[in-house]
Chain A
Amino acid sequence: MRNYIIKRIAQSVLILFCVMFIIYALIRSLPSSFAETMAMQLAQAPGAKPYEEWLAQLNAAYGLDLDIIPGFFTWLSKAIVGNFGDSWKWNVPATQKFTEVIGLSVIMGGISFVLSIVIAVPLGVLAATKQYSRTDYVITAAALVGISLPTFFFATLLKLLFSVKLGWFDLYGLVGRDYAQLDAWGQFCDKANHLVLPIATLVIVSIGGYMRYTRTNMLEVLNADYIRTARAKGLSEHTVIYKHAFRNTLIPLVTIIGGSLPGLFSGALITETLFSIPGIGYISYQSMVAGDIPFTMFYLSFMAVLTLASNLLTDILYGVVDPRVRIS
């Protein structure tokens, strides 16, 4: 097991290296208009250096004067020790901006993750035990609707209904207009109020996937021979389903749930952007659109690390949870 993990980690590092290089090359080959715009501005100040000198200085400062390959290694050597440079858009180190906003995304992601698991798993089990019943059809159809829902459309519908028609929540933002005048408890409530719609969106959109996954795996287990044996022994249906079947369904479930844990840190790019919630998703969307190379590079590398971590975690968890896999 340990050798396997070490091998997998080594592999992941290699993959990460390649991914970072591809991302770097991609970003570098885009027109770097930001440095030019900034040089233009600086050169217009009275008594300033000419545009070419500013441009050269800025390019040197950002490591844009090197070719892609040496530039990549310069960037990588700094990135390894956690120095991703100053964000151009936010004017602070990229990592500092990241630590400021990541908490909100994790809270939002965590709440919606727990909620969707708590709702999806029982429903999935229910649908599987009553396969081909009306309940099953309704749950399956609802799960597919959830998967097919375009996030932006659903969020807009929620906004129209709850913000515009009912006026329960604000349309945008994390804090209300009178946030500064509230006491600590009021501030907490204000923020919580602003997070209701984004979290609802996230839950509804992600619930379908978990529900289907639970149903499929539960069905597979219910078709297994040992379930027939359990029934043949005369065990009650309740014991068969919750003691024998559900426990075995937990294997793939725990695996996929563990695998999606790192995803909590990636933020919800679309939802955060729609509701203007300053989490990592919205902040990085703004950075990307503004052509903020240091922050974008940081965000993309971070995302790649998260994907690798979740793959790794899935594989390891699978071995931990299911003893049959461990032997091979």
Chain B
Amino acid sequence: MSENTQNQNPKQEQYSLNDDRRVKVLSPGALVAKRFFRNRLAVVGLSILIAMFLFSFVGGLVSPYGQDEQFFTYTQMSKEFVGVTRNDTMRFVVADGQNFGSIAQSKALEAVKKGSTEFNYKDTDYTVDIQSDDFYVVYQGSDVMGYASRDLVNEADGAPKFSFDVKLAALTAITAGESDFTADGVDYTLNKDGEIAANGEQLGYVSRFVVSAADSSVVVTRDFKDRLEEAINEKADKFNYTDAGGNEAEYDIVYDASTKVWSVKQMTETYVYDRYASPSKAHWLGTDTNGMDMLTRLMYGGRVSLIIGFIVVVIEASLGILMGGISGYFGGWIDNIIMRVVDVFYCIPSMPVIIIIGAAMDAMRVDSWKRMLYLMLILGFLGWPSIARLVRGQILSLREQEFMLATEACGIKVWHRIFRHLIPNVIPQLIVTCTMGLGSTILTEATLSFLGLGVKYPFASWGNIINDVNNAYVMTNYLFIWIPAGICLLLTVLGFNFVGDGLRDAFDPKMKR
């Protein structure tokens, strides 16, 4: 120490040998600090802790994102666009004003199947005119009742509806292979694609495909249908189509044999949560399963872990000091009772009990915020006995010392004697125990959160961030999700243990040689 003094005071030659100023006086606290800072591990631990505190408490303020702010992204997703079925059943269309119900319709089909062209239903005779395999017309006498066809007559977009007569005429013309027909006094033309036009205006078309849009926002144009039919007939599995606005899109065609439906899928941009995004400039550690920024979650997680640790240790220490102090000072039956209570608490298996309570809170759907409070209370309430034991043991020896006799002689109140004179003497050991306790509390909380029984979404905690590894895919492919959280956790607990160890050595110079 004399060397130090010399270095710090170059003017020491001016003082006489027994001058007080030659000697630097260090308070006990300063001595402890000096011993502490000489311990390399302890200094490393302290730096880790300072870094972690800055990361968690300042980092959260600096981070541009919120704790539970979700991010979105556009992704190419194959989305069902339209479904196409080929009409393979005979569909009846009943003439206007005629009564030709479904039973009669099936009678007609039955008759055709038997090869007959006549059938009787409800005392009425009908005749069927089989124009081709795909087109029959049903008459009662000379009145057309309706027709059955596999082809469907559709109106063009925006064109007026076809009347029954037009449809019948169109189908008849198609079956006969004619290229024009007249119905309702209008001349229509028919090309080989089945398109119906009148006066040069496209009015509709005949087709065997039924195209239904996947949702109401999709408008299927005639042009698109043509392109689609062509693609289906070519048995292509994808095709391109440029719509009227000039937007080209690619469509995939998937045929499902069991339902006989071609489903047409369009690759579209979809707005989704940005899940498990890899680290990038915007998200240094990527995003998690809910599309939240991982680095920000990590900062807030650190906050939660550290705050829970501190509150739990404060609860433990206050209960422990109170019970231990009373027990140690009074001794006798009070001591006996309190120590048996401590024994009982010691025996309660804390981890299983917390797991059970956590599972029960799950069942009761306790709000995440309240849950965190309960967690702290339970951890604190189960942890005080070891501190009580420590305080009691110290006080038992301290109270026999002379200064306690002096406090008694001065007539100081019992309360003050315990908490002003005895407890301060226990503080060094308490600080060591509490520092180490902080580390283990953070570990316990993290383990519980990892099991999903501690801190819950939307709050982050290092434990529940690592919880994602329960999904083996995340474990193997998204290391950036769980490795940083684990390292933070390890470093923090390590920091507390290093500092606690260093403090123990610093407070107890006997251990140093």
Contact = CB atoms under 8 A, between A and B. Distances in A.
A14 B463 CA distance: 38
- Label chain B's interface by main secondary structure: helix
B344 A148 contact: no
B360 interface: yes
Contacts of A311: 346
Contacts of B479: 160
Nearest to A147: B497
B352 to A, nearest CB: 6
Nearest to A141: B41
Interface stretch (B137-145, B206-214, B280-288, B442-450): B442-450
Interface stretch (A25-33, A83-91, A94-102): A25-33
B494 interface: yes
Contacts of B490: 145, 148-150, 153
B498 interface: yes
B494 A171 contact: no
A67 to B, nearest CB: 20
B497 A144 contact: yes
Interface stretch (B63-71, B122-130, B408-416, B468-476): B468-476
Size class of the A contact interface (CB-based, 8 Å): 35 or more
B352 A153 contact: no
Nearest to A149: B490
B497 A27 contact: no
A18 interface: yes
A18 to B, nearest CB: 5
B348 A269 contact: no
B196 interface: no
Contacts of A19: 344, 347-348
Contacts of B493: 147-148, 150
Interface in A271-300: 273, 284-285, 288-289, 291, 296, 299-300
Nearest to A131: B513
B355 A160 contact: no
Interface in B238-275: none
A212 to B, nearest CB: 9
A62 to B, nearest CB: 17
A16 B489 CA distance: 36
A144 B494 contact: yes
A296 B486 contact: no
B469 A156 contact: yes
Contacts of A171: 472
A320 interface: no
B135 to A, nearest CB: 53
A164 interface: yes
B31 interface: no
B340 interface: yes
Interface stretch (A43-51, A105-113, A245-253, A301-309): A301-309
Contacts of A30: 356-357, 360
Contacts of A291: 359-360, 363
B43 to A, nearest CB: 12
Nearest to A23: B348
Nearest to B440: A147
B349 A304 contact: yes
A226 interface: no
A31 B360 contact: yes
A264 interface: no
B219 interface: no
B25 interface: no
Interface in B317-354: 340, 343-344, 346-349, 351-353
Given A33-B363, A148-B493, A153-B466, A27 B356 contact: yes
A265 to B, nearest CB: 12
A30 B486 CA distance: 33
Nearest to B495: A148
A156 B486 contact: yes
B384 interface: no
A219 B41 contact: no
Contacts of A160: 475-476, 479
Nearest to B358: A289
B472 A270 contact: no
Given A153-B490, A284-B352, A307-B349, A164 B344 contact: no
Given A144-B498, A147-B497, A160-B475, A285 B364 contact: no
Contacts of A164: 475-476
Contact of B363 (A22, A31, A308): A31
Given A147-B439, A288-B356, 4 more contacts: A26-B356, A148-B439, A269-B351, A296-B352
13 contacts: A19-B344, A22-B348, A137-B41, A148-B443, A148-B490, A150-B489, A159-B475, A160-B479, A288-B352, A299-B352, A300-B349, A304-B348, A308-B347
Interface of A: 11, 14-16, 18-19, 22-23, 26-27, 30-31, 33, 131, 137, 140-141, 144-145, 147-153, 156-157, 159-160, 164, 171, 219, 223, 266, 269-270, 273, 284-285, 288-289, 291, 296, 299-300, 303-304, 307-308, 311
> Top 8 A-B pairs ranked by shortest CB distance?
A153-B486, A303-B349, A148-B493, A148-B494, A30-B360, A19-B347, A18-B344, A289-B359
